[in-house]
Amino acid sequence: MADEKTDQQTAAPAKAVARAKAFVDEHGGEGRAVVQNLGRTGARIVLIGADGAFGDVVVADVATGESVIEAVENLTASEWDAQTTAALTIGPAHRKKMAGMNG
């Protein structure tokens, strides 16, 4: 007998779908997404646009993140592999921000 929880698909929150779709539309019309578990906080969907830009959306859990990806046309579920990391473009301003350098 199959587990009832596994048979039910987690609903994708409309707000998260809208944010992910807007990101894809603004950054080349297609993209990749990696869902990262944040523990009790939820899950982070890292979005990588066709132009190399990245953004994120935080959702309740990994299953919800996967549902968001499935709901957005031209958004492909990915892992942090060589192709995904190569698609990401991090500019000097973001590198300074991540290093804690305000300026």
The tens-digit pLDDT sequence of the chain (103 residues) is 344 444 457 899 999 999 999 999 999 999 999 999 999 999 999 999 999 999 999 999 999 999 999 999 999 999 999 999 999 888 787 778 778 886 5
DSSP 40: G
- Which amino acid type is present at position 61? D
Q: Give long-range contacts, CB 8 A cutoff, 24+ apart: 76-83.
A: 76/30, 76/31, 76/32, 76/33, 77/32, 77/33, 77/34, 77/35, 78/32, 78/33, 78/34, 78/48, 79/34, 80/34
pTM for this structure? Answer: 0.82
C-alpha 27/C-alpha 73 separation (Å) is: 13
Mean residue pLDDT across the chain: 89
